[in-house]
Amino acid sequence: MINLINKLEKNHSLTIDEYEYLITNRNEESARLLAEKAIQVRKKIYGTDVYIRGLIEISNICKNNCYYCGIRASNNSCERYRLTAEQILSCCDEGYPLGFRTFVLQGGEDAYFSDEVVCSVVSEIKQKYPDCAVTLSLGERSYESYKKLYDAGADRYLLRHETADKEHYQKLHPQEMSFKNRMECLNNLKKIGFQTGCGFMVGSPYQTAATLAKDLKFIEQFKPEMCGIGPFVPHKSTCFASEKAGTVELTCYLLSIVRLISPSILLPSTTALGSIDPYGREKGILSGANVVMPNLSPFELRSKYELYNNKLSGGAESAANVAELKQRMESIGYKIVTLKGDFKKI
Ligand code: SAM
């Protein structure tokens, strides 16, 4: 085990079987060692800086029916909303003075957000806040569409691959969604020049150490600039309502491995991690994460973007309470910085 961890630290690469071994045979000692090395590596590149991103949930209207997701099209109990361009801009106006220099526009696959509408919002944000980055997370679109969004000024795009195992992918999604298209989208985003983010849920139904090993190999080979890894948490109105949630322990273990695979990756300590453990965010940072994404959406609409039950949106998860988040990060030896926080090429 120790040899494998040293090999990973040195080569930033293991075989799929070795990744699987690292997961299956994990114990407190391997977790401690991985976290220690992940923190060292992260400190060399990012010091103790923690980047903040203002998350604006622009629409919970979605044409898709991902089996795990609370805003899936066929969830009739979800009260739908979408933000206007003015509302999105005023979220940025609120976030800028709080120190946010990245705005993440995330939403379901809502046809209202055509290329024209998104491009116009992106260029308005970039005009008003030229020192800020705009990240989009609006699901699968065509190459041409992504290119237009990039040309309008969007800097980054998050599209979790969800799982790097085709059979597993089909167990999490209906027939009309395809693994092939998800991967094609990710390749297109990279080709166009976006700082691209992939990622997956930990503990999703049918996930195994073998599928996780494939996720790690995929990350090693795809070389994303960002990677979102958070626990799966069940939502009562989905097919997976009675499935078990992922654990903080395995999520943190994987965060450390991903940091060692890609030392300069932008790695969030996710909202889902904070939602299943009151110290989840801190535990993520102490495992090698270097980003947090507090919620900047209009307060009264936050509970409607319910991807899973008990999703946090208040307290230190709220952008308005960035002071609390600062304090919490300082208490573990890290500091929130007012920077765009781009991926550092090394
Ligand atoms: N529609 C866009 C897309 O597909 O990338 C962005 C929005 S989607 C709701 C954002 C992410 O939420 C998904 O990639 C998924 O990993 C995560 N998510 C959805 N349901 C979840 C659940 N029950 N538990 C944890 N994460 C969940």
pLDDT at 317: 81
What's the 64 CA to ligand 1 centre distance in angstroms?
11
Q: Is the pLDDT reported for residue 315 higher than 90?
A: no
pLDDT tens for 102-114 read: 999 999 999 999 9
What's the 106 CA to ligand 1 centre distance in angstroms?
10
* Residue 295: DSSP 8-state: B
Q: What is the largest CA-CA distance in the chain?
A: 55
Amino acid at 305: Y
What's the 38 CA to ligand 1 centre distance in angstroms?
26
Closest ligand 1 atom number to CA of residue 71: 9
pLDDT tens for 219-233 read: 999 999 999 999 999
pLDDT tens for 174-211 read: 999 999 999 999 999 999 999 999 999 999 999 999 99
Query: Does 75 sit in the ligand 1 pocket, CB within 6 Å?
Result: no
pLDDT band per the 50, 70, 90 thresholds, residue 311: confident
The residue nearest atom 12 of ligand 1, judged by CA position, is: 307
Q: Average pLDDT for residues 317-342, to the nearest whole number? A: 93
* Residue 266: DSSP 8-state: B
To test the pocket of ligand 1, the residue of 61, 69, 243 to mutate (highest count of ligand atoms within 8 Å of its CB) is: 69
Rounded Cα distance between 168 and 166, Å, is 5
Rounded Cα distance between 133 and 341, Å, is 9
The residue nearest atom 3 of ligand 1, judged by CA position, is: 139
The residue nearest atom 11 of ligand 1, judged by CA position, is: 160
Query: Does 108 sit in the ligand 1 pocket, CB within 6 Å?
Result: yes
Sign of CA dihedral 26, 312, 90, 124: positive
Query: How many angstroms from the chain centroid is the CA of residue 312?
Result: 15
Model confidence, pTM: 0.97
